[in-house]
Homo-oligomer: A and B are copies of this chain.
């Protein structure tokens, strides 16, 4: 993977050019490489060897003397976290003055890819970083100093507490209540929270001195009732253990209790919890109710929480991609070394000839090239998006605004496309292994199980699709879609100059035109129920268009590089994608175009 990553960073995305910006001026290609080298090494030493272990020895609970539950984790999980925290990666993007490295997000995301490939579930550090970043954006100075800083330095960990058992994706229905206790606590307006939070990753553990929960809850109105909908939602810092303004533990446990663990199909290294807030298991000052400090303004909780949504979703896409890549590498290795059967020649098979490596069989190569096109293509798209995050934050105003808008449109694809297609890649990796791939003696089945999560968390596939077709391609008068079309057309124009790419360029131009037309057709009646009835097929087609564009653009760059094998690989994966994948877009588009209501209108009793 490293040569391809280097190609993406240095040849395609020109990461080094970022060092011309003031924020990154002290960096160079060498410092970027050093970060990647370090992370690649830690991932190899502290993550990869324990990936199966954390699957087998999944988190379990033991009772404390007081009857409360604690989580038991393998030692390897502690070691992996320690190594990650010591690397400084938790604060990779922070200012030097806050102990950070002022790394571009592009380099941070690339470096984190190594950990994802080595063991996606042993660490859940991205949540801690996301939590702290959110406080940096919306917290008071003291909240940043007390909470965010201690997350960045590795002392404490962070969580995101959104979902509730009765309201999975439907945040407007959350029922956790927050009642004001004191408006003038130096850590922020102090509330008492009561409610249950579900699917909380790393919601309880003893790897760090403290855990900083960021919790969505509703402040009841004067009538004591909760406001329906997302407008009533506010955001609170709820530390597991209470702290003072110096960031020291006060010795008082907050009223947050582990109710139980979720036992998952995969991704088992990460503890997933049901948490009870304020049920009185650890009363504070003799009173039930978890102490929480308001972040930002009341009623703006969701807005705050979604501030970091793009990065979080890019992170999920990257997780899916790295699981796919791990399976691709494992199955490529297996296909090169395992001998079995003989290819069919003009005279059939010669049973007296020695068996050949699996990779000599055409269908094995098809399954490998499919994986390559899915996983490397996803990786490229995600780093392109990561580069846009840097543009958004450090480019001039016009370029930053373009980057912001492009990210809005691309993020649902960056999350959903790898989740779906790199899962399929994992299935192909199993298939290449045959019966062995179906056993737990080989790693590929675990990648496949781990990867199944990614279409579900951080907004399901269906939600991404509604976001894309219901919001992103319409917003600002469709300017985001136009912007993307402009970039795609620029690639097409260049590719048309290259005889070997001209056919691909024309194919992409056709699909681009179709996507534009179909978007209009979907909304032709203005009825959301009709427009969005086939939002997922729309997203699938849109994703294939974006990935075809990505591959075409990579091909333009690859012809100029020295590494002939890498160039041939990019050319092959591009051809594969245009011949085998892009034509799938049309069947998906057709049902959207026709606002096909077959599914939506089938009576319930006919199922």
Give chain A's interface residues, CB within 8 Å of chain B: 163, 167-170, 172-173, 198-199, 228-231, 262-266, 332, 336, 340-346, 348-349, 351-352, 355, 359, 361-366, 368-369, 372, 423, 427, 430-431, 434-441, 445, 448-449, 452-453, 455-457, 460-462, 465-466, 470, 526-529, 532-537, 565-566, 568-569, 572, 575-576, 579-580, 583-584, 586-587, 590-591, 594, 596, 598-600, 602-607
Contact = CB atoms under 8 A, between A and B. Distances in A.
A366 B536 contact: yes
Contacts of A228: 351-352
Nearest to A172: B351
A533 B355 CA distance: 19
A400 to B, nearest CB: 30
A210 to B, nearest CB: 26
A369 B532 contact: no
Given A169-B340, A265-B449, A604 B359 contact: yes
B170 A265 contact: no
Contact of A602 (B437, B529, B572): B572
Given A345-B529, A435-B168, A527-B346, A427 B449 contact: no
A441 B263 contact: yes
Contacts of A199: 435
Given A438-B264, A456-B438, A568 B606 contact: yes
A527 B534 CA distance: 42
A299 to B, nearest CB: 13
A273 B377 CA distance: 39
A579 to B, nearest CB: 6
A136 to B, nearest CB: 28
A485 to B, nearest CB: 23
Nearest to A435: B199
B439 A455 contact: no
Contacts of A586: 583, 587
Nearest to A341: B170
A334 to B, nearest CB: 12
A369 B583 contact: no
A173 B163 CA distance: 55
A457 B439 CA distance: 13
A573 to B, nearest CB: 9
Across chains A and B, which 3 residue pairs bring their CB atoms closest together, nearest first? A229-B351, A583-B587, A568-B606
Nearest to A598: B575
Contact of A460 (B343, B434, B452): B434
Given A346-B527, A596-B579, A565 B434 contact: no
A3 to B, nearest CB: 12
Given A264-B440, A355-B173, A369-B599, A168 B568 contact: no
B569 A607 contact: yes
A535 B363 contact: yes
Contact of A372 (B343, B351, B596, B607): B607
A279 to B, nearest CB: 22
Contacts of A594: 579
B168 A434 contact: yes
B430 A452 contact: yes
A362 B587 CA distance: 19
Contacts of A172: 349, 351
Contacts of A430: 452, 456
Given A168-B340, A363-B535, 17 more contacts: A169-B340, A169-B341, A170-B355, A229-B352, A231-B351, A263-B439, A264-B439, A264-B440, A345-B528, A366-B534, A431-B461, A438-B453, A565-B603, A565-B605, A569-B607, A579-B591, A587-B587
A528 B439 contact: no
A549 to B, nearest CB: 18
B435 A457 contact: yes
Contact of A362 (B372, B445, B529, B590): B529
Given A452-B427, A534-B366, A606 B439 contact: no
A594 B230 CA distance: 53
B599 A590 contact: no
A580 B602 CA distance: 15
Contacts of A572: 598, 602, 606
Contacts of A348: 528
B439 A460 contact: no
Given A168-B340, A229-B351, A599 B576 contact: yes
